[in-house]
Each structure stands twice: as C-alpha cells, then as structure tokens.
Amino acid sequence: VRYPAQQKAETHDKILATAARSFREHGAESNGIGSVMKELGLTKGGFYRHFESKDDLLAEAVNFAFKQMGDHMTEAARSAPPGRELQAMIDRYLSLEHVNSPGAGCVVAALGTEFSRQPLAIRKRINRSLSQYRERLLAFVPGRTLEEKRQRFALLFASMSGVLMNARANADPKAREELLIAARVFFTEAFT
C-alpha cells in the first residue's frame, strides 16, 4: 500500500505526542513501543519507519514534552499582569492541576530520576532539550545578567520539579495540597 503524501509526517507526530504523554504517565521503561502503536491503531513493526530505536523515541518524546511544557509556561506568563510573569509560572507549575496531569506536564517531574541512567548520547539530547526550554523562559526570570537568569532558572525549576515529584508520591491529598501551597508562597517570595 502506498499511503497519502503527508501521512508519514502525521503518523510521526502522532507517535511522538502519544509517547510523550504515555511515558510521562506510565514511565518510559515498562510502557513501550507496543502500547503506543496499539493506541494509534498501528502495529509495532511499523514503528521503525519513524524512529531508529526505543532510545531515539525517548529522546524525541522528551524533547516534545519540553516544547509542550514551554508552551504552557509561556502562556501562563503572557496572560499575567506585567511584572508578575514569573509568579504566574510558579503558580501554574505548582498547581493541583499539574500534579494531577503528569501526561501533559513537566517531564523532569515525571521521568527525571531515569535521566541519569540513560546512555550518554541520549542524556545529551535530553540536556539540549532542557537548555532550549530554559532559554525560552529566560525572559520571564529576573536577574541582571543572562548568566544570573540562567542560574536562577536552573535552581528554581530543579527545586520545583522536586516539590511536584514529592507531591505526586504522597498518597494523602491533604499533604499534597499543603506542600504545594507552602512551596508557592516560598518560591514566590524567594524568586520574584
């Protein structure tokens, strides 16, 4: 069967979007190619027309997730009153909604502990995606120099990813919410 002209690009994007969500929801290790392709109504044999390997897909899916998250954060910042962009990003990041929707949220808070165990080549691709994410959001971070902004961003987002991860790990909804509230107050005071 020869398939319509742009179908390959569309299928490629669908695999990426589905994998990016599925990996964040269920983990990158146990949940695999099979379930992603099945969800799209395709057979797993066809996967290799689109990606070199599972590792390749992981790197691309993480990149997709960072772009998606960058969109969310940018949107939050843009819809905030002037001077309150970073606070809006903090509030969005540390929201109950974000805790409850890992599949559409920060990929570091969802898969971060697995990154250090990836092959070096994959880790570097992930680092590059994170850098691009950082550069996009740098405009909303206070600081005198670019370097100072980068440092503050790294510290703030690393810390917040830990808070989000811990909130999700906690089975008690009340404890989750208290941690989020305390963290919103704390990071807003410290960084804005």
Binding at 113: pick from DNA, a second copy, none (beta carbon under 5-8 Å per type): a second copy
CB nearer to DNA: pick between 47 and 153: 47
Query: What distances in angstroms separate CA 160 from CA 17, 41, 128, 166, one per listed residue?
Result: 24, 37, 20, 10
Question: Which residue's CB is nearer to a second copy, number 9 or number 181?
Answer: 181
Shortest distance, position 142 Cβ to a second copy, whole Å = 15
- The conformational region for residue 29 under phi > 0 = left, psi -120 to 50 = alpha, else beta, is alpha
34 binds, among DNA, a second copy, none (CB under 5 to 8 A by kind): DNA
Distance of CA 110 to CAs 50, 73, 128, Å? 24, 16, 18
Q: Which of 8, 78, 124, 128 binds DNA (CB under 7 A)?
A: 8
Please tell me the distance from the alpha carbon of residue 143 to that of residue 148, in angstroms, as a whole number: 6
Give Cα 93 distance to the centre of its chain.
Answer: 11
Residue 182 binding a second copy, by CB under 8 A: yes
Q: Mask: binding to DNA, 17-56, rule CB under 7 A, as x and -?
A: -------------xxxxxx-x---xxxxxxxxxx--xxx-
The yes or no reply on residue 168 touching a second copy (CB under 8 A) is yes
Please provide residue 144's backbone torsions phi and psi, each rounded to the nearest 5 degrees.
-75, -45
Q: Which does 163 bind (CB under 5 to 8 A by kind): DNA, a second copy, none?
A: a second copy
Beta carbon nearer to DNA, 5 or 169: 5
The residues that touch DNA, with contacts defined as CB under 7 A, are 1-5, 7-8, 11, 30-35, 37, 41-50, 53-55
